[in-house]
Amino acid sequence: MFKNLRYRFALFMQGRYGTDQLSRFISVVVLVLIAASWIAGHFPAFPGSLFFIKAAGIVYSVLLFVIYFRTFSRNIPARYAENQKYLALRNRFLSFFSGSGRSSSQHIEYHIYKCPQCSQKIRIPRGKGKIMVRCPKCGTEFVKQS
C-alpha cells in the first residue's frame, strides 16, 4: 500500500520544484513563530501578547502558504532565481559577520598587513623578523615585523 502511495506521490512531484534552502529557512522561521506564539499564550499578562499571537498566526499562515506554493510550483526557473537571490543575501550577511574572511590556517602561517598608501592587503610569512615590504599594487615600501 505504501509503495503505491510513494509511487503516486513521485508521479505528482514530477516537474515540480520541491524544497530548497529558502524553503528550509522559511520553515525554521515558521517554527520559531509558532514556538513564540505558544510561549506568549502561556503568559497572557504581558501587554500586547494577544496581538502578537494573532499577528504571528497570520504571518506563519502566509509563510506556510509560500512554502507550499514554492514546493509545488512548476515554474522552476523563477523558484531557482528566488533561491539564488536568497543565497547571495545569506552569503553577504554571513561574510559580514565572519570577519576578514581569511582562513585560520593562513592566520597561523602569515601576517596580513595593509599598504599605508593604497590599503592593498599584503600577506607576509611569520617569523622572518623585520622586513621591508613592497606593495605589489602601488610600489610603496614600508617596514613591518613578521
DSSP output for 44-77: TTSTTHHHHHHHHHHHHHHHHHHHHHHHH-S-HH
pLDDT at 49: 82
Are 130 and 59 members of one domain?
A: no
- Single out the residue of 68, 82, 60, 85 nearest to residue 16, CA to CA: 68
CB atoms within 10 A of CB 56: 20
**CB 146, CB 126: distance < 8 Å:** yes
Residue found under cell 598587513: 113
Are 53 and 28 members of one domain?
A: yes
pLDDT at 48: 80
What is the span of the domain harbouring residue 51?
Answer: 15-97
pLDDT at 67: 95
CA distances from 141 to 110, 120, 144 (A): 19, 12, 10
Are 92 and 112 members of one domain?
A: no
pLDDT at 73: 93
The mean pLDDT value for 45-70 works out to 90
SS3 18: coil
Q: 123: which strand partners?
A: 112
pTM of the model: 0.62
Are 79 and 111 members of one domain?
A: no
Are 85 and 21 members of one domain?
A: yes
Integer Cα distance of 33 and 42 in angstroms: 14
Are 75 and 121 members of one domain?
A: no
pLDDT at 103: 56
Residue 2 lies in a domain: no
CA distances from 60 to 27, 28, 34, 55 (A): 9, 11, 7, 9
pLDDT at 24: 95
Q: What percent of the chain has a predicted confidence (pLDDT) above 70?
A: 95
